[in-house]
Structure 1
Amino acid sequence: MLGAVLLSPVLPRISEHFAATPGVDVLVPVILTIPALFIALGAPFAGAIADKFDRKRLLIVTMVGYAISGTAPLYLDSIQAILASRVLVGICEAAIMTCCTTLIADYWSGPRRIRYLGLQTLVTTVAATAFFALGGLLGADSWRTPFWLYAVAALAAIPMALLLWQPAAAHHGDPHHGERRPWPWRTLAVPSLITVAGGVVFYTLIVQLSYVLDGAGVSDPAAIGGVTALMSLATAVGAGLFAKVSGRGARVLLVVEFAVSGLGLLLIFAAGAVPVIVAGAVLTGFSTGLLLPTLLTWAVNRLPFAQRGRGTGLWTGALFLGEFLSPLLVGGLTAATGGLGPALAVIGVASLVLAGLVVTVLTVPSAPLNAVPAE
C-alpha cells in the first residue's frame, strides 16, 4: 500500500527525469503497479514458506529486504534498474502481508481476531491517506526523497523481532500437527475468486477518482486530495464497524457490500454535479471498507494452523491480482464504451450482478463470521 500512494504525486517528475528513455510514458506508471503484480504472484509461495518454516523469521527478513529494495531508487539512475528494485519490493511485500495476516489469525481467535482483522484494514486506509499527502510534500524537493520512507521498515523490524513470537502448532489444537497438509484449493476457491472481483472494485476509485473529478471540472489538487481523503475516511469507518456487524454471515455482508459499492459507482456515472460524485465515492469507500475484512475473515477462519500461511497467501495474491487488473480493466472498458463514466457504470453493474450471484449461485456461508471456530 505504501508504494502506490507514496509515489503517485511524484510520477510526473520521474517522467521528466527519464524523458530521454525510450518508452518512458509506459515504464514510469509500471513503477507504481509492478509491485502489485509480484505480490499477487509471490504471496502464495510466501505462505508456503511461512507454513513450512517460520512465520516470524520470514517477516523480519523481508522487512529488511523491503527497506533495502525500497530505498534503492535513491541511488539508481536507470529506469530499468528502478523497475527491478520495484519487483523486489513486491516480492518482499508479498511475504510481509502474508505473514502479518497469518500471525493475526494465529495469535487470536473469535471476536478478537475479527477486531484485529478489521483494525488492519482501518490502519492501512488511514496510513494510505497520510502517505499520499506525505509523498506530495517530500516530492516537492526531489522525486527521490519519498523513497527514504522505505527505510522505516528496517527500524520497525527491530521491535518486531523483540515483541513478536512464532506460534506453535501444538497450541492450536491441530490433531494433524506434524503432518504435511495439502494446499487448501477447495476451501479457498470461491473466496479467492470473489476476492479478485473485490480487489477490482476496491481499487477502482482509488486509481480513478482524481480523473473523475478532473472531468467534472475540479482541477485544484487540494480539492481532489480533500475528496480522496474523505473517501479514505469512509473506508476507515467501514473497516472500523466490521467487528460490530460480523455477527452477520459472509453471504449477507457480501451482498450488501457489493450492492452498495455498485450503487455508488452508478451514482458517480449518473451525476454531473460534484457533490453527488463525492456522495458516490463516500458510499463506495464505506462499503469497500467493510468488504475487505469480510472477505479476509471468511477465508482465514476456514483454515487450520498448518494451512493458514498458504491460505492467507492465496487470498493476498487474489486481492492484489484484483488491484493489478483494476486499471487495466477500466482502461479497456473506457476504450470500449467511449468514456471513464460508462466504464465505471459497467463495473458498478458487475458489482450488483455479483451481489445477486452470492445470493443465488455461489456457495457462501450464512453462519455468523464471529461464531466460526478457529483452530
Structure 2
Amino acid sequence: MKSETWQVKATLLLVSSLTIMSMITVSASLPDMTRSFSDVPNSEGLVKLSLSFPGLFIALSAMLAGIVIDRTGRLKLLGIALVLFAIGGTSGYWLDDLYGILAGRALLGISVGISMTIVTTLVADYYQGKSRQQFAGLQIAVMSLAGILFITLGGVLADVGWRVPFLLYFFSLLILPAVSLYLKEPKREVKTSETVKGIQSPRIIWLIFVNVMLMWIIFFIIPVQIPFYLKEIGVEKNAMIGIAIAASTLFSAVSSFSYSRIRDKLGFRQIFALGYFLMALAFAAMAMGNSYAVVLLGTLLAGLGMGLMIPNANLWVMHLAPQEIRGKEIGRLTTFWFLGQFLSPLVLLPVLNYLSLSRLFYILALVLLGLTLIFLMWYWIHKRSLATTDAQN
C-alpha cells in the first residue's frame, strides 16, 4: 500500500486524536454535572472520577490489545474499537444514572486502549527511517492541537447543556469510512507460536516504559494543580488559568513538530536529557510563583519538554521492538503512559499534606535535573562503549 498518501496519514492522525479527546472533552461539564447528580452520595468525587476513569481502563486494556493484534492482525479490532468509542463516550448524553455513565467511561477507556495501540503500531508498520521519525513527531503534535480544539468545543457546548459535549464522541463514527478505505493490513510473515515465544526486545525497552510512566507522573500535576496554584497567587480569571494550561499543550505541539529535525542532530538519550532539563526549568519557574507571567513561562517550558519526550519514547520503542511482537510492546508503552497519568494524583497529592505547592515544585525541579544528568551520563557511557567496540573491530 501507499502509506505516504495524505489520505493514509490523515486517517492515522484522526484516529490518534481520539486518545486526547477521550478524557478532556467533557471537563467543562463537570460543575453542572455535579449539580445534576447532587442527590447521589459522594457525587462530586464520582463526577471528578469520570474525567480520569478512562485513563485507568486505557492502561488495563492496551497491553492485552497489543498481544491480540500481533496474533490476529491490526485492523480487525480497530473498527470495533471506534464503535465502542462512540457508545461509551456518548453515554453521558443518554444515561441518567451516574454509575451507568462511569461504566460508559470505562468502555471508552477500553476502546482507546485498543485504538491507540493499533494506530501507533500501524505507524511503525507503515513507515521506516526518516519517514517514521517525521510522523512520530507529527502524530503527537496533532494530538496536542486536537486537545485544544476538543476542550474548546466542549466548553462552548457545555454552555448549551452539560450533556451536549458528550455527543462529540460520535466523531469516531465519522472516521470509520476512512479507516475502511485507506488503511490496509500490513504484510507480515506468519510465525508459529513457538517461534514467536523466542523473540524478545532488548531489555533496555523496560527502562523506556518506566521512564514514560515517570515523566507522566510528574507532568500531569500541571493540569491538576496549576489552576489551584494560580488562585493562590491571586489569579482569579478562569480564562487566564485556561490559557496557562492550553499554552502547555500548544508548545508541546510546537516542539513535536520540530522533533524530526532535533532527532537528526541528537540521539534518544540526549533528547530525553534535553526534555527533562526543560521541565526542570519549568518547575523551577513555577516554584517561584511570584507572578502569572512566570508561571505561564513554566507551563510553556514544560510543554516544550514533553513535546520532545513523547515522540522520542514512541520512536525508540518502535526502533527496538521486533515486528513480530511490535503490537505487544507498543501496548505496554500505552499502558505505562496512562498508568503514569492515573498514578500522578495518587503519588503526588498526598505530599501536599506536608508541603506547599511551591515547595513540591522545587523538589520536582531537582528530581528532573537529576534525571537530566542521568540521561547525559547514560549517553556518554553509551558513546564510549560504541567507540571501544569500533576500535576493537
Normalising by structure 2, report the TM-score. 0.87
Give the structure 2 partner of residue 311 of structure 1.
Answer: 329
Contact 1:250–1:365 (CA under 8 A) maintained in structure 2? no
Higher mean C-alpha displacement, 325-334 vs 192-201: 325-334
Pairs within 5 Å for 1:1-375: 1-170=20-189, 179-181=195-197, 184=201, 186-247=203-264, 248-337=266-355, 339-360=356-377
2:162 alignment partner, SS class: coil
Contact 2:270–2:379 (CA under 8 A) maintained in structure 1? no
Give the CA deviation at 1:74. Answer: 1.3
Give the structure 1 partner of residue 15 of structure 2.
Answer: none
Deviations 1:159-206 (A, max 9, x none): 111110010114xxx999993245648352111011111112332213
1:166 alignment partner, SS class: coil
Give the CA deviation at 1:358. Answer: 2.4
Give the CA deviation at 1:279. Answer: 0.9
Higher mean C-alpha displacement, 177-186 vs 276-285: 177-186
Contact 2:55–2:339 (CA under 8 A) maintained in structure 1? yes
- What stretches of structure 2 of length at least 5 have no aligned partner? 1-19, 385-393
Partner Cα separation in structure 1 for residue 381 and residue 133 of structure 2 = 18
Give the structure 1 partner of residue 391 of structure 2.
Answer: none
In structure 2, the CA distance between the partners of 1:183 and 1:23, relative to structure 1 (3 Å rule), is: farther
Partner Cα separation in structure 1 for residue 163 and residue 317 of structure 2 = 38
In structure 2, the CA distance between the partners of 1:317 and 1:51, relative to structure 1 (3 Å rule), is: same
Partner Cα separation in structure 1 for residue 331 and residue 302 of structure 2 = 26
In structure 2, the CA distance between the partners of 1:328 and 1:355, relative to structure 1 (3 Å rule), is: same
Q: Which amino acid aligns with 1:218?
A: V
Q: Which amino acid aligns with 1:246?
A: R
In structure 2, the CA distance between the partners of 1:193 and 1:225, relative to structure 1 (3 Å rule), is: same
Give the CA deviation at 1:222. Answer: 1.8
Contact 2:201–2:322 (CA under 8 A) maintained in structure 1? no
Give the structure 2 partner of residue 371 of structure 1.
Answer: none
Give the CA deviation at 1:131. Answer: 1.2
Partner Cα separation in structure 2 for residue 62 and residue 144 of structure 1 = 23
Give the CA deviation at 1:225. Answer: 2.0
Partner Cα separation in structure 2 for residue 361 and residue 297 of structure 1 = 18
Partner Cα separation in structure 2 for residue 110 and residue 63 of structure 1 = 29
Contact 2:201–2:320 (CA under 8 A) maintained in structure 1? no
Contact 1:177–1:306 (CA under 8 A) maintained in structure 2? no
Higher mean C-alpha displacement, 228-237 vs 7-16: 228-237
Give the CA deviation at 1:269. Answer: 0.6
Give the CA deviation at 1:359. Answer: 3.3
Partner Cα separation in structure 2 for residue 225 and residue 60 of structure 1 = 34
- What stretches of structure 1 of length at least 5 have no aligned partner? 368-375
Partner Cα separation in structure 2 for residue 364 and residue 218 of structure 1 = 46
Partner Cα separation in structure 2 for residue 7 and residue 346 of structure 1 = 32
Identity of aligned residues (%): 29
Contact 1:249–1:366 (CA under 8 A) maintained in structure 2? no
Partner Cα separation in structure 2 for residue 366 and residue 250 of structure 1 = 12
2:330 alignment partner, SS class: helix
Give the CA deviation at 1:361. Answer: 6.2
Q: Which amino acid aligns with 1:71?
A: T
Give the CA deviation at 1:292. Answer: 0.5
Deviations 1:259-316 (A, max 9, x none): 2102211110113111111111111111111110111111111112111100000001
Partner Cα separation in structure 2 for residue 27 and residue 350 of structure 1 = 32
Partner Cα separation in structure 2 for residue 324 and residue 148 of structure 1 = 25
Contact 1:251–1:365 (CA under 8 A) maintained in structure 2? no
In structure 2, the CA distance between the partners of 1:313 and 1:362, relative to structure 1 (3 Å rule), is: farther
Partner Cα separation in structure 1 for residue 281 and residue 24 of structure 2 = 26
Q: Which amino acid aligns with 1:234?
A: F
Contact 2:62–2:113 (CA under 8 A) maintained in structure 1? yes
In structure 2, the CA distance between the partners of 1:48 and 1:365, relative to structure 1 (3 Å rule), is: farther
Task: State the 4+ residue runs in structure 1 displaced beyond 3 angstroms.
Answer: 174-179, 181-185, 359-367
Contact 1:250–1:366 (CA under 8 A) maintained in structure 2? no
Partner Cα separation in structure 1 for residue 338 and residue 353 of structure 2 = 23
Contact 2:248–2:304 (CA under 8 A) maintained in structure 1? yes
Contact 1:330–1:340 (CA under 8 A) maintained in structure 2? no
Give the CA deviation at 1:343. Answer: 2.3
Deviations 1:75-102 (A, max 9, x none): 1111111111111111110001000000
Contact 1:251–1:366 (CA under 8 A) maintained in structure 2? no
Partner Cα separation in structure 2 for residue 362 and residue 333 of structure 1 = 32
State the aligned residue count: 363
